[in-house]
Amino acid sequence: MHRVFNDLGLAVLVVVAMAVAPSIYSNQLLLFNFVMFLSLAQGLNVIYGFTGYLPFGYVGFFGAGAYGFALAVMHLGFGPPGAMAVGAAAAVVLALILTPLFRLSGAYFAIANLAAAQAVYEVVANPALEDVTKGPYGVSLSGVFAPNASYAAAVAILAFTLLLVVWLRNSQFGLSLRAIKEDPISAAMAGVSVVRGRTIAWLLSALIAGLVGGSFAWEVSVFYPETAFSPQFSIFAVVFALFGGTATLTGPLLGVFILYGVYNWIGISVPQYFQLIYGTLIVALVLFLPNGLVSLLTRRGIRVP
């Protein structure tokens, strides 16, 4: 019970901080990006941190959410809340279609997932579908542009995501997922439904990415396929989660605040050294702290949320 309160306290602190941040710092787009990556890193944490499956093509769900939102606005006349639901549903449906990928494991799963995301991108960007998706020419949703409302939606998604991770860390279901990650055969022999557990975690992870993709489409209102399906979203989500430490609430949060903060500081202050400094930082962590920053605390017996 003490751990639950610690986890909830950290979650509430982060959500409140991001909710009031626009009143302190004027660059709301940068704050939106922080909120977006906080959710994406935790969404990836749901599938990788608790089951051990690393989706290099995680951006596929994000792009599905963005385009689901856009199609709902353009062709169904939905307002932003309804369009967000459509985007989330599109990501979940895509995840259901891709569940056969769980027949693979390790690098094979990661690469196959990346190929699947690229296939979705090719469909969306196809000029033959210009009447539906606008093809490679991008979508314009200026009629729903409302940065304050979309930021509030992003913070609400972050709250949902953090509460989901808190639940996974402290529930019987989350414990079964960790058992699957450690040894799926032993977990199955102990009565854990491996297929069911992996599938639910997969769908929840996709749901988060789809919601975030919808909030992104609402925030920017004008975007192109190569933006919505940019590998950068997957790369950042993976790097941020691994940098801080997976299967924790704190790890991905640390990864985003530190690495994305450094990313923006270097890009503004010393852009000519960006790749060198950023790459060195990440390589050093992989070599010396393979379990992420939180491992520094756990080694000293400090319990990390």
In total, how many domains does the chain have? 1
Cα–Cα separations (whole angstroms), residue 85 to 78, 171, 216: 10, 26, 13
Q: What is the pLDDT of residues 181-226, one digit of tens each?
A: 999 989 999 899 999 999 999 999 999 999 999 999 999 999 999 9
**Tokens at residue 290, please?**
């393979």
- Residue 286 in any domain: the answer is no
SS3 97: helix
CA dist 280 and 274 (Å) reads 10
**Tokens at residue 147, please?**
């940065």
DSSP 138-173: -EE-GGG--HHHHHHHHHHHHHHHHHHHHHHHHSHH
- Residue 260 in any domain: the answer is no
- The single residue listed with the structure tokens 């608790």 is 50
Q: What is the pLDDT of residues 241-260, one digit of tens each?
A: 998 999 899 999 999 999 89
Closest CA to 248 of 197, 290, 190, 304: 304
- Residue 142 in any domain: the answer is yes
Cα–Cα separations (whole angstroms), residue 19 to 7, 126, 200: 18, 38, 29
Cα–Cα separations (whole angstroms), residue 114 to 11, 76, 131, 234, 235: 30, 30, 27, 9, 11
SS3 222: strand
Query: Maximum CA pair distance of the chain?
Result: 59
- Residue 268 in any domain: the answer is no
Closest CA to 29 of 139, 151, 142: 151
CA dist 218 and 150 (Å) reads 6
Beta bridge partners of 146: none
Task: Determine whether 64 is exposed, middle or buried from the number of CB atoms within 10 Å of its CB (0-12, 13-18, 19+).
Answer: buried
- Residue 85 in any domain: the answer is yes
Parent domain of 154: 2-230
- Residue 275 in any domain: the answer is no
- Residue 137 in any domain: the answer is yes
- Residue 118 in any domain: the answer is yes
**Tokens at residue 57, please?**
């093509």
Other CB atoms within 10 A of residue 185 CB: 9
pLDDT tens, per residue, the chain with 305 residues: 667 888 999 999 999 999 999 999 999 999 999 999 999 999 999 999 999 999 999 999 999 999 999 999 999 999 999 999 999 999 999 999 999 999 998 889 999 999 999 999 999 999 999 999 999 999 999 899 999 999 999 999 999 999 999 999 999 999 999 999 999 989 999 899 999 999 999 999 999 999 999 999 999 999 999 999 999 899 899 989 998 999 899 999 999 999 899 888 877 677 677 667 767 777 777 677 778 888 887 777 667 77
